Chains A and B, each alone.
Chain A
Amino acid sequence: MDLLLLFLGAMLVNNFVLTRFLGICPFLGVSKKVETAVGMGMAVTFVMALASVITHLVHKLLLVPAKLEYLYTIAFILVIASLVQLVEMVIQKSSPSLYAALGVFLPLITTNCAVLGVAIINMQEEYTLMESLVHGVGGALGFTIAIVLFAGIRERLDTNINIPEALKGLPIALITAGFMATAFLGFQGLIS
């Protein structure tokens, strides 16, 4: 039950993109088409789930016994960078079609702050291995929901000719994201 609440909390209440502001770069950059948004969401979900588990183990089994906790930033980013590289190679070998679909977004996940963010939050909240995994997957699905919804709205905005010249492109996208964030504030009371 606690795990379910943690999952929903990470996905909706503390949505990574719209409430915590993690992963804004891909949110704004890769949200012009629903298809690519779905691909990005899947890739991020996969990497975040793996990163949650591995950084948790690195922290518990390596940094804490060696009393090197203050090096967590360097350790985590190295884990994530090599993980992304590994995932890239595995997908390339096992499923070339998925690899082609994700294309350039795969390497970019390294600098997606949602991934490093989830690792650091897991550490600060002292989640167990299971909780870290649930939190990582929930957060990543929250990211996917936000980016896919946002891409759907942006596809329609592109065909709308009534937008004032000055608002075209990024400004209207940001204001749209603002309204989405307002809507997500509504989840605030869901879990007390």
Chain B
Amino acid sequence: MKKLFERLYNGIVKENPIFTQVIGMCPTLAVTTSVGNAIGMGLATTVVLICSNAAISLVRKFIPSSIRIPSFIVIIASFVTMIELLLEAYIPALYSSLGIFLPLIVVNCLILARAEAYASKNNVISSIFDGLGMGLGFTLALTVLGAVRELLGTGKILNIAIMPASYQPAIIMILAPGAFFVLGILMALLNVYRSKKVAR
């Protein structure tokens, strides 16, 4: 039990995919124009990550190591296709706002990295929790980024006005450059926090 919680903590805080490992950046920067999109993308990735980690862990002993990467990619691509079809059928609004980045979950390095680094070496239960932890860590990072960008760029969060009516939205925050600026500044703040922690 303790080990499973350790996997969750590891994924969400200690080895957060975005803020510590810096992988899976394309969707991070592209879909965080609003909190809704960020959560949707994060959860879709989490589901794929859990399923692919579980499946890869199950078949890890049968896959020859020389063709493991192509096999992993095919497994991941199958789950992505399933998620894509499900979203298209049940949540068409999210499906269209995520657009091309939904099929591109296949090439999210985070998923392949977890398959290679963890699921191909560990049992099913801990692989599932590893996927859950990493997925939630990814979702958390995306949500923070989405919240900052949506708040500064539109003055609202989840379509609820937060800023006073006199606030002039900084449109650039929801355009492409805003993604780079906000992520850069968040990482710098995190560096400040870390160096203070070390100094103490």
Q: Which of B29, B70, B172, B189 contacts A24 (CB 8 A)?
A: B29
The number of inter-chain residue pairs (CB within 8 angstroms) is: 120
Chain A 28-76 interface residues, beta-carbon cutoff 8 Å to B:
28, 70-74
Chain B 14-71 interface residues, beta-carbon cutoff 8 Å to A:
22-23, 25-27, 29-30, 69-70
On chain A, the residues within 8 Å of B5 by CB distance are none
On chain A, the residues within 8 Å of B103 by CB distance are 72-73, 116, 120
**Contact status A70-B25, CB under 8 Å:** no
Given contact pairs A28-B22, A111-B112, A178 touches B81 in the complex (Cβ within 8 A) = no
Assembly CA distance A87 to B100 (angstroms): 26
On chain B, the residues within 8 Å of A168 by CB distance are 191
**Contact status B106-A120, CB under 8 Å:** no
**Contact status B188-A167, CB under 8 Å:** yes
**Contact status A116-B188, CB under 8 Å:** no
Binding site of A, secondary structure by majority: helix, strand, loop or mixed? helix
Whether A11 sits at the interface, judged by CB under 8 Å, is no
On chain B, the residues within 8 Å of A111 by CB distance are 107, 109, 112
**Contact status B184-A175, CB under 8 Å:** yes
Q: Which of A19, A111, A185 has the most CB of B within 10 A?
A: A111
**Contact status A73-B188, CB under 8 Å:** no
Whether B80 sits at the interface, judged by CB under 8 Å, is yes
**Contact status B100-A170, CB under 8 Å:** no
Per-position 1/0 for B94-107, Cβ under 8 A of A: 00000010011011
Q: Which of A22, A73, A174 contacts B187 (CB 8 A)?
A: A174
**Contact status A171-B112, CB under 8 Å:** no
**Contact status A116-B184, CB under 8 Å:** no
CB<8 Å pairs between A and B, sample of 22:
A21-B176, A24-B26, A24-B29, A25-B26, A28-B22, A73-B84, A73-B106, A74-B74, A78-B74, A111-B107, A113-B107, A116-B107, A120-B103, A170-B22, A170-B187, A174-B183, A178-B177, A178-B180, A178-B184, A179-B177, A182-B177, A184-B176
- Residues of A at the B interface (CB closer than 8 Å) are 18-25, 28, 70-74, 77-78, 81, 110-113, 116-117, 120-121, 124, 164-168, 170-175, 177-179, 181-182, 184-185
